[in-house]
A and B are shown apart, each in its own frame.
Chain A
Amino acid sequence: MSVQTLGWLVLLLPLTGAVLIGLTFKALPQRVHGIIGVAAIGLAFVAAVLMFFGLQDRGEEERQLVSVAWDYANTVGVDAQLAILIDPLSVLMCLVVTGVSTLIHVYSFSYMGGDRGYTRFFAYLNFFVFSMLLLVLAANFFLLIVGWAFVGAASYMLISFWYRRTTATKAGIKAFVINVAGDVGLVLGAYFIFKGTGTLDFLKNFELVGEAFTENQPELVAGCILLLVGAFAKSAQVPFHTWLPDAMEGPTPVSSLIHAATMVTAGVYLIARLHPLFEHAPDAAMVGSVVGCATLLIAATIGLVVTDLKRVIAYSTMSQIGYMIMAVSSAVYAAGMFHLMTHAFFKALLFMAAGSVISAMGGNQDLDKMGGFRKVMPFTFACMVIGGLALSGIPPFSGFFSKDEILAYMVDRGGVYLVMAILGYVGALLTAFYTFRMIFRAFFGEMSPEAEELSHGHLYHAPEPTNPANGEVEDTEVGFPGPEHHIAERAGGMKIAMGGLAVLAIVGGFLQIPGVTSELHHFLEPTFHDSELYETIHPSATAEWIGLLVGAVIGATGIFFAWTIYGKGGNAASFQARFAPIHKVFVNKWYFDEAIDFLIVRPAAWLGRFANSTFERIFVNGALVGGSTGAVRALSAAVRSLQSGYLRYYAALLLIGFSGLGAYFLISA
């Protein structure tokens, strides 16, 4: 099969899965739907692997393929095509997305076992993967926007998956609204670019951008910043990040897949994909770097104090994506994409392990109530530690190579980027600290009652299921979490998925060992061949190793601090009291929610009320809608009254008609 065919297949398989599951939801038992879901994504992964080999068989210059299925429109200068772009970057993303998705589907196959919405879950999940792949494979802005919006919709459906939980639906709405704000940015940005270059196609845009715009031309910078707004919203960067922690209301596999491994990396992908535009608008790129750097610090500080297990990992995700955004905006593409890949592995793993712990807690996510799970959940504990070490950048785990490579490259670029690199190292210290704070609190210390019960061989189930966020009483029917919980120690599917990711989190970094291997850098070269910075920013192996070692030492220090405070003999309370004012700012998440509420939500609500009471009622309802329906109704009545049923009137109208025509012709002659 040709590479192009495989590309379409990668796209079609998850869609087929989603449609098949959706159409047969009554006809087949739910386990079969699980199998269909897993198989569809698994086959897509196989196709993506074949696509990778097909691409590698081609010459360096022939590794950017566009396959057009058909034109949607090719008129008045708009070239909207159903076309996919297959190049190393999109293939890498396809591999990561389908690969991690396959494991997460396997995990969900067990984890969601007791849920009444099992079938719906797999239909959504497959649809999400399709949307993400559409986003990744799109060869033009048009399809990118479609995929972008689909991903937002799929995310909304999955966050609000337990749709009878008020907290979940609220979180879903929040995520959707912020994402749509980003979509608007993306569409406007694409329009700015399109207006300059006159084409929607990516490759043509890259060729034409140099002629259409001068460097840092205001239109281009504005367009790129608008594109960044889209990227920030999707990738949860400051100030568009507030939806991501709330999105943890969704089932844990969703957090793992969408809000850690794939969807939130879309912004990183977007910047890397459109790098010729950003390199031509360095001012816009600088905005990306700064925002990424700010996000990585802010998120890490909030991660220090959050007491919700999944939210700790969520803030960590934000922070890590901050690294990636900073990297790709600073033209450190290969390292950014490298971190994207390793992060997908270890962050998905951390979420899965967290899901297992949450199951053992009977659905409760509060770190304050956890403790002592180390002995009773050895497998989960091992996975959590592997993920944690990778996240903290301890050798030889994957995060060690990828995160510190970003920082080493930033140092090499120098100037303001050096400052950002130093801030990145500060972030690394915080990262290691909050990661192991979470691990020490959940797995060490005194056994919680739930852990106690597990040590006697019973999995804790709450006598009456409640919403852990607000204590509302729930039932276990559809729309709420199901009656059974599953932990990795007892569910094969979860074990397989976590084991696979643990291995990847350990070995994933070996692709890029400074001075030894440079696989990813070489692989991505055809995509970035037009970038001057891709080759020029290149620290020596020694410099890189120094950077790596500094990172490792910082990571180890962070873990040590965490141990002294939260480990054996630590006194967390007094530590907290000593930094009370800062703690308060962090606990309140730097007051971003409050600021957004004050600056945007309230004025918008006021405007909405005003529009509703006056504009909508008088202009829209009265004049616009009322007027047009009135006109249609009156015309309809007129037409029907002409339709008398008498032939003589019909004939008369016929005569009038051709008299009119004749008169027109004679007058115009």
Chain B
Amino acid sequence: MSSVFAQATTKGPPINWEALSPFIALVVGACVVLLIGLARGAFIRRQVVPVLTLITLGVTAGLGIWQWDTNEAIISGALKVDNLTLALTMIFVAGGIAATFLSWRSIATVEAGEGEYYALMLTSILGMLVLVAANDLVVLFIGFELLSIPLYVLCATHMRREQSLESGLKYLIIGSVGSATLLYGLALLYGAAGGTNYADIAAVGSAMADDVLFLTGIALVMAGLAFKASVAPFHQWTPDVYEGAPTPVTGFMAVATKAAAFGVIIRLFDVALIDATVTWAPAFATLAVITIIVGNVGAIGQSSLKRMLAYSSVAQAGYMIAGVVVTTQLGISAVVFYLAIYVVMNLGAFAVITARERETGLGDDISSLYGLGRDRPLLAWPMTISMLALAGFPVTAGFFGKIYLINAAVDNGYAWLGVAIVIGSAISLAYYLRVVAAVWMREAPATSLTLSARPIMAGGSQEADDEARAAGIEPGADTGRVIADDFAEPSIAVSGPRLSQPEVVFVAIVCSIVTIAFGVYPEPLMDVARDAGAAFSSLL
């Protein structure tokens, strides 16, 4: 009987379930979260669902640690589980955990449905995992879409806010253009190589180095992936989408998507296309310089913090490309190190923005930080540390992140790229220090005691808002939700009412502690990054 059955089925490839376990954990977790989210009780939806999300992420991280030092292509070489995949998994998980904490009291989760919200987030992380593990063009594209589609939805979860919907829609449309570009490129690569596996492509790399279709394919793939990593000139969606999306989603997107995009860029370009390095590396290096300039100058003069951080993330992407173009293990470890600290530097800032958004009603405007240094040191310090770290100050992890990137660049003949990074960092001080100045050197506006007032529209109406504020009228105050003297004496300027949101403050503080810790003693994190780089044993 059994033999008959065996003959009747097609024989699938052998599967290494252990190496696959982090993927499975995410799938199972997403399903469970989605189902539990259907429950009626508010307690279950508001508390149990995020806890389950955290458990899922924790299990994923645990399985990743358990599988550390695996180096195997599983399921007929479709997925590659190695230290790069696993290190990036930790980064996704860290981003996911922080986003879960930040979303805990967010209106977005209620409006979208908690189950759906968190399940989408887990699915997106699964997509990232598939993307960075992809060892095959088809799997790459599946991962790419699995990562993107949930994010399109998540951006729009603040359904009653026009900007959130706008952000989701814009992301969807322009993202589709990006996906199409990528897919076209993948098709051309397949056409040139006659196979979809990275090994097939690598095998023909040197023979096809002058082939028009192959090179066009590389160009299109590069554009598609650069789009996801917010590399200029494919970055334009970033400020608009970051600004409109709910802040926890923005934070998640900023750190996790970036890590995923760089993961796949490293694997595709440093493995499959390694023989074409002489062709694509100068192009990428040029893009890096453009990105560094555009990101840094674009961030100057932004009064929306999220918009500013969006441009900052563009600039940081430019820095990280330096680690990719050198095609060395040192470069890969430098990128992984930077991605890891990028998570804490950014999430610290996003946590503070989230907290202030809820407290002041000023949205993510820089004025929401006024007076923070005096009244709320527990928020002021994380913001300060995040900004200094992003700017690359010593004693913060950002300093070592930049050092390692520059080191990798200089060591392999890209010294001019190192110079570009330094110049970019110098420009970046203009907008990072502006935030620090807002935190410590500006008094809180005396009339900012609005709670959950209509958020001001960022962008075009900013100047009008500033004028109104100068005249003593608070934008949004006309909605009549001004909280009276319950919170403070009217004569004393206070930077807003205190809300009890310990989980947000917790994220901010943990992030800043980690930032400082790795800024003083970077060695443990660098060891992990080195392990990730060492997975590419064929490189120097």
Contact = CB atoms under 8 A, between A and B. Distances in A.
B294 A639 contact: yes
Contact of A75 (B173, B174, B411): B411
Given A632-B427, A665-B215, 17 more contacts: A69-B521, A76-B410, A76-B411, A643-B239, A649-B236, A650-B170, A650-B237, A651-B173, A653-B233, A654-B223, A654-B227, A658-B223, A661-B220, A664-B283, A665-B280, A666-B215, A669-B211
Interface residues of A, number: 32
Interface in B207-253: 209-212, 215-216, 218-220, 222-223, 226-227, 233-234, 236-237, 239-240
B239 A669 contact: no
A662 B219 contact: yes
A416 interface: no
Interface string B519-540: 0011100000000000000000
Q: Which of B173, B212, B216, B239 has the most CB of A within 10 A?
A: B216
Given A75-B407, A632-B300, A668-B279, A654 B219 contact: no
Interface in B433-492: 459
A665 B216 contact: yes
Nearest to B523: A70
Contacts of A581: none
Contacts of A573: none
A73 B300 contact: no
Contacts of B233: 653-654, 656-657
A456 interface: no
A665 B523 contact: no
A635 interface: yes
Interface string A323-353: 0000000000000000000000000000000
A642 interface: yes
A645 interface: yes
Interface in B134-183: 170, 173-174, 177-178, 181
Interface string B275-286: 000011011000
A643 B235 CA distance: 10
A665 B236 CA distance: 23
Q: Which of A636, A649, A661 has the most CB of B within 10 A?
A: A661
B363 interface: no
B274 interface: no
User: How would you classify the secondary structure of chain A's contact residues: helix, strand, loop or mixed?
Assistant: helix
A578 interface: no
A647 B219 contact: no
A568 interface: no
B156 to A, nearest CB: 15
A72 B240 CA distance: 39
A639 B298 contact: yes
A522 interface: no
Nearest to B169: A647
Interface residues of B, number: 46
Contact of A666 (B212, B226, B227, B234): B212
Contacts of B174: 647, 650-651, 654
A426 to B, nearest CB: 50
Given A665-B219, A666-B216, A654 B297 contact: no
B236 A650 contact: yes
Nearest to A663: B219
- Cβ-closest 6 pairs across A and B: A658-B223, A665-B215, A639-B298, A635-B297, A662-B219, A657-B233
Contacts of B411: 75-76
Interface string B103-129: 000000000000000000000000000
Interface string B396-412: 00000001000100110
Contacts of A662: 215-216, 219-220
Contacts of A636: 297-298, 300-301
User: How would you classify the secondary structure of chain B's contact residues: helix, strand, loop or mixed?
Assistant: helix
A657 B234 contact: yes
A643 B236 contact: yes
Nearest to B426: A628
Contacts of A651: 173-174, 177
Contact of B283 (A70, A640, A661): A661
Interface of B: 170, 173-174, 177-178, 181, 209-212, 215-216, 218-220, 222-223, 226-227, 233-234, 236-237, 239-240, 279-280, 282-283, 287, 293-294, 297-298, 300-301, 403, 407, 410-411, 427, 430, 459, 521-523
A646 to B, nearest CB: 10
A70 B521 CA distance: 8
Contacts of A661: 219-220, 222-223, 283, 287
Contacts of B226: 657
Contacts of B279: 665, 668-669
A123 B424 CA distance: 36
Contacts of B427: 632
A640 B181 contact: no
A640 B220 contact: no
Contact of A640 (B240, B298, B523): B298
Given A70-B523, A75-B410, A657 B223 contact: yes
Contacts of B239: 643
Contacts of B294: 635, 639
A547 to B, nearest CB: 51
Contacts of B297: 632, 635-636, 639
A645 B240 contact: yes
Contacts of B215: 662, 665-666, 668-669
A640 B301 contact: yes
B181 to A, nearest CB: 6
Nearest to A75: B407
A657 B234 CA distance: 7
A337 B130 CA distance: 66
Contact of B219 (A75, A76, A642, A664): A664
A664 B300 CA distance: 30
B90 to A, nearest CB: 22
Interface string A451-478: 0000000000000000000000000000
A575 B202 CA distance: 97
B181 A654 contact: yes
Given A640-B298, A643-B239, A669 B220 contact: no
B182 to A, nearest CB: 10
A664 B216 CA distance: 10
A12 to B, nearest CB: 11
Contacts of A639: 294, 297-298
Nearest to B280: A665
